[in-house]
């Protein structure tokens, strides 16, 4: 399982990411279809489009297209994990400024759904881990899990961190709080995280620790939002 999914065409036009696997003398090829979004000529200086939309996943056995029910469970499981990682990392839902920065209006519903919608299977696993971690953290008295959110009660506000997207809403009116990672030392680096590779879990904990002591925050881009009437 060493070959990465993501062998699309460099120009971004109608890409098909492919992965080849061999199991029990059968050759499997998996295709993940992608399409460029050409709205407003959104591409960089090298001509590569900035945004892509995802489409279908197709499976072939020995060059023959097969129905999903005929795909071995291990092939399906591994390739779906690749697709999930691709979407999880590349999604515009990860951009905390998407809804306010003039991003494509027709995709704002997707951003909202991704940011605060139902939890994916990966996020459900993250939630389970958070439930076991929370009683051992110093913020345990001011943090709790409710549905798809980690609720953190600060001095100034109460915050709802979405366990899937890591985006934040502030009570009482569910105002959106934009916190962009600074690239500084991660405050959770000394905390053992039992789900290796889940950066989202680390981000959630970092935000929770920060907001639990919201009165100590000095970053004006954050305090101006928290103190907004």
Residue-averaged pLDDT of the chain: 79
Asked whether the predicted pLDDT for residue 10 surpasses 50, the reply is no
Give pLDDT tens digits for 11-24.
Answer: 445 578 888 888 88
Pick the range with the lowest mean pLDDT from 58-67, 69-78, 109-118, 147-156: 109-118
0.85 exceeded by the pTM?
Answer: no
Strand, coil or helix: what is 193?
A: coil
Give pLDDT tens digits for 170-209.
Answer: 998 888 898 876 555 554 455 555 555 567 888 899 999 9
Rounded Cα distance between 31 and 61, Å, is 12
Asked whether the predicted pLDDT for residue 48 surpasses 80, the reply is no
> Cis omega before residue 172 (within 30°)?
yes
Give pLDDT tens digits for 114-164.
Answer: 777 788 887 898 899 999 999 999 999 999 999 999 999 999 999 999 998
> How high is the pLDDT of residue 45?
75
Residues in the chain: 229
Exposed/middle/buried for 93, CB within 10 Å: 0-12, 13-18, 19+? buried
Task: Work out the percent of the chain whose per-residue pLDDT is above 90.
Answer: 31
Domain ranges of the chain: 16-90, 119-226
Strand, coil or helix: what is 76?
A: helix
**What average pLDDT does this structure show over 89-96?**
71
């Amino acid at each position: 399982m060493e070959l990465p999914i993501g062998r699309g065409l460099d120009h971004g036009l109608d890409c098909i990411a492919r992965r080849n696997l061999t199991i029990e003398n059968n050759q499997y090829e998996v295709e993940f279809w992608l399409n460029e979004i050409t709205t407003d000529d959104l591409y960089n200086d090298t001509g590569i489009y900035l945004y892509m939309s995802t489409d279908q996943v197709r499976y072939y056995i020995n060059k023959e297209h097969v129905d999903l029910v005929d795909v071995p469970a291990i092939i399906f499981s591994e390739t779906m994990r690749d697709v999930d990682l691709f979407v999880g990392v590349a999604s515009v839902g990860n951009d905390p400024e998407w809804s306010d920065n003039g991003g494509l209006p027709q995709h704002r519903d997707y951003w909202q759904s991704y940011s605060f919608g139902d939890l994916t299977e990966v996020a459900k696993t993250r939630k389970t881990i958070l439930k076991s971690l929370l009683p051992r953290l110093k913020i345990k008295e001011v943090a709790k899990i409710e549905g798809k959110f980690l609720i953190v009660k600060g001095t100034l506000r109460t915050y709802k961190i979405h366990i899937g997207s890591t985006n934040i809403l502030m009570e009482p009116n569910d105002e959106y709080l934009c916190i962009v990672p600074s690239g500084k030392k991660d405050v959770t680096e000394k905390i053992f995280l039992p789900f290796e590779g889940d950066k989202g879990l680390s981000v959630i904990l970092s935000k929770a620790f920060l907001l639990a002591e919201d009165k100590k925050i000095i970053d004006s881009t954050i305090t101006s939002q928290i103190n907004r009437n």
